[in-house]
Amino acid sequence: MMMMGETWSQLGSLIATAMFLWAMFDKYFPHHLRSLILSHSKKLASFVYPYIQIKFHEFTGEYLKRSEAYAAIETYLSEKSSSEAKNLKAVVVKDSSQSVQLSMDENEEVTDEFEGIKVWWGVKKIIPRTQSFSFYPEMEEKRYYKLTFHKSHREILCGKYISHVLQEGKAIRVRNRQRKLCINKSRKWSHVTFEHPASFDTLAMESKKKEEIINDLIKFSQGKEYYAKIGKAWKRGYLLYGPPGTGKSSMIAAMANFMNYDIYDLELTNVKDNTELRRLLIETTSKSIIVIEDIDCSLDLTGQRKKKKEQVKDEEENDPASKMAKGEEESNSKVTLSGLLNFIDGLWSACGGERIIVFTTNYVEKLDPALIRRGRMDKHIELSYCGFEAFKVLAKNYLDVDSHPLFVTIGHLLEETNITPADVAENLMPKSLNDDSETCLKKLIEAIKTAKEEAKKKAEEEARLKAEKEEKEKQEASQEDVKVDKSLAKEVKENGVEVVIDDKTLAKEVKEIGVIA
Ligand SMILES: Nc1ncnc2c1ncn2[C@@H]1O[C@H](COP(=O)(O)OP(=O)(O)OP(=O)(O)O)[C@@H](O)[C@H]1O
Ligand SMILES: [Mg+2]
């Protein structure tokens, strides 16, 4: 069946040929007559063929880079192509073994509608005239998408519609892309596919707190104009703190899955100096989370590096090359967190945004307040021991149980005991095929009771140690008093006073009779 756009296109070609023939009569027609005929023929052509065509070529520029617009159109049309076109092309999406993107093959056509206006999209291929050998035959073929629409809609389609297609195509690409987990090793990022299953649904924490974080992330993702308006880099910093096993890393994975972002796990101990750090940060892409885990340990970094430096100092001393480099390196060599935070602001303001930076720590009290002030780390999130609400999320995840009579006991026990979500999760996980949900819940009750018992013992032990320490300090203090008394007694003797009483009461009596005064 001949498609609408195709028919018009062929008619257009016919008219163009006719115009060409007219032009061939060039020399037989006087100039004024010729331009009159041409202008009338153009009017006729536009009357008979009132359609506009726009081509989007696959490869553009001097280096034949694949056009982003072409890729976006291909993605945008993918769904329509798979439902309308008969000849399709399948492309395996990069980095993935399962995902396939379908697009229409050459000479196919699909329709689209925008604000009630119908348009036609087709793919064409220009085969090169000279059949020469090429390393990149697909680049030689020169494919393009052709958009056809009625001239009366020119304004709306050339403006709003095309930018809608490009934006939507890019957005679908971002949604469908394989996300990356990048790790800095030997001076550069290496990546694996990020496939962590954590989500905010599976994260065990109070629903109110969870909602607050989700809303914060949504607000951030929609804040492009806002950040531009206030003149700040489009970034947001989170500090996640809490004991080990409370879900800090799980929350980062949930954030990345929710936002559809890549993760850059920055290991500061692998970074040689600030120059390298800066380069690594510049290489991070937009729509990503940069993670620095356990910053309280990273804070010691400067000290550690100094020690290491001292070790190699002797070796370097005799090396002329290192002597030359030394002057320059000295100023760049320290990797400090405050430095990092300072130039994150500068760098990311310059290279576009949509980046989240997350720091984690088990010991928030150890951090320098200047480092974690608001603005640098916009939101501080505490991940804590498992409460009843968090337990219910874990019970649903691990056992698919919403309620159970044992929940009441567990609720009471959790109020009195500090147990991490990681420990709760571990106990809820069935260990054998015979373990039903009740068995697992009972196992958890036992675990919480044991934890409670251990915490009690620990508290008693700590109290005992404290009492012992206090007693020791008391004894030491009284021994100190005796020492003072003895020296006093010696002084009294030297001053010629008869002393027959014991050391302890000596000073008192001496004072009373006024010898020292
Ligand atoms: N809040 C939570 N919700 C769901 N699962 C959790 C939660 N906290 C811990 N877990 C479970 O415990 C495991 C360890 O948790 P996670 O690695 O997120 O803890 P963490 O706070 O990052 O610990 P660390 O301080 O040692 O890095 C996870 O794999 C997850 O299964
Ligand atoms: Mg962790």
* Residue ID of nearest Cα to ligand 1 atom 27: 244
The set of residues, in sequence order, having a beta carbon less than 8 Å from that of 460 and lying 6+ positions away, is none
Which two tokens mark 323? 């002597």
Ligand 2 mean position, distance from CA 252 (Å): 9
Which two tokens mark 62? 């001097």
CA atoms of 82 and 483, how far apart (whole Å): 96
Ligand 1 mean position, distance from CA 485 (Å): 59
Ligand 1 mean position, distance from CA 56 (Å): 49
What's residue 108's pLDDT? 86
* Residue ID of nearest Cα to ligand 1 atom 7: 247
Task: Round to the nearest angstrom and report the end-to-end CA distance of the chain.
Answer: 124
Q: Count Cβ atoms below 10 Å from residue 217 Cβ, excluding itself.
A: 20
Ligand 1 mean position, distance from CA 247 (Å): 3
SS3 for 126?
coil
Closest ligand 1 atom, residue 244 Cα: 25
What's residue 179's pLDDT? 84
DSSP symbols for 277-309: HHHHHHHSPSSEEEEE--HHHHTTHHHHHHHHH
Closest ligand 1 atom, residue 394 Cα: 4
Ligand 2 mean position, distance from CA 296 (Å): 13
Site to substitute for ligand 1 among 250, 385, 392, 420, most atoms within 8 A of C-beta: 250
Ligand that comes closest to the CA of residue 251: 1
Overall residue count recorded for the chain in this entry: 517
Ligand 1 mean position, distance from CA 425 (Å): 9
Closest ligand 1 atom, residue 205 Cα: 1
* Residue ID of nearest Cα to ligand 1 atom 8: 247
Closest ligand 1 atom, residue 240 Cα: 21
Ligand 2 mean position, distance from CA 270 (Å): 18
Nearest to 411, CA basis, from 370, 381, 436, 441: 441
The set of residues, in sequence order, having a beta carbon less than 8 Å from that of 338 and lying 6+ positions away, is 368, 370, 371
Assign 3-class secondary structure to 373-438.
Answer: CCCCCCEEEECCCCCHHHHHHHHHHHHCCCCCCHHHHHHHHHHHCCCCHHHHHHHHCCCCCCCCHH
CA atoms of 295 and 298, how far apart (whole Å): 5
Closest ligand 1 atom, residue 251 Cα: 18
Site to substitute for ligand 1 among 246, 393, 444, most atoms within 8 A of C-beta: 246
Ligand 2 mean position, distance from CA 416 (Å): 25
Ligand that comes closest to the CA of residue 362: 1
CB 231 within 8 A of CB 225: no
Ligand that comes closest to the CA of residue 250: 1
Closest ligand 1 atom, residue 243 Cα: 25
CA atoms of 92 and 109, how far apart (whole Å): 22
Ligand that comes closest to the CA of residue 291: 2
- Which bin fits 260, alpha (ψ -120 to 50), beta or left (φ > 0)? left
Ligand that comes closest to the CA of residue 255: 1
Q: Count Cβ atoms below 10 Å from residue 274 Cβ, excluding itself.
A: 17
Which two tokens mark 169? 């195509």
Ligand 2 mean position, distance from CA 193 (Å): 19
Residues within a 6 A CB radius of ligand 1: 202-205, 244-250, 362, 383, 421-422, 425
Ligand 1 mean position, distance from CA 203 (Å): 9
Site to substitute for ligand 1 among 240, 249, 381, most atoms within 8 A of C-beta: 249
Ligand 2 mean position, distance from CA 397 (Å): 20
Distances in whole angstroms, Cα of residue 13 to Cα of each of 6, 19, 252, 352: 11, 10, 58, 45
SS3 for 481?
helix
Q: Strand 109-114 vs strand 117-125: parallel, antiparallel, or unpaired?
A: antiparallel
Which two tokens mark 30? 């006087």
Which secondary structure element, helix H or strand E, spans residue 232, and what is its range?
none
ipTM over 0.95: yes
Nearest to 455, CA basis, from 421, 406, 413, 427: 413
Q: Tens-digit pLDDT profile for the chain (517 aa)? A: 345 555 656 666 666 676 666 666 555 666 666 667 767 776 776 667 789 999 999 887 655 667 889 989 998 998 888 778 788 888 766 544 556 778 888 888 899 999 999 999 999 887 766 555 555 555 556 789 999 999 999 999 999 999 999 999 988 887 777 788 999 988 889 989 888 999 999 999 999 999 999 999 999 999 988 988 888 888 899 999 999 999 999 999 999 999 999 999 999 888 888 888 888 888 888 889 999 998 877 654 433 333 444 444 444 444 433 443 343 344 445 677 666 777 676 766 666 678 999 999 998 888 777 777 766 788 999 999 999 999 999 999 999 999 999 999 999 999 999 999 999 999 999 888 888 999 999 999 999 999 999 999 999 999 999 999 999 999 988 887 777 666 666 665 666 554 444 555 555 655 555 544 3
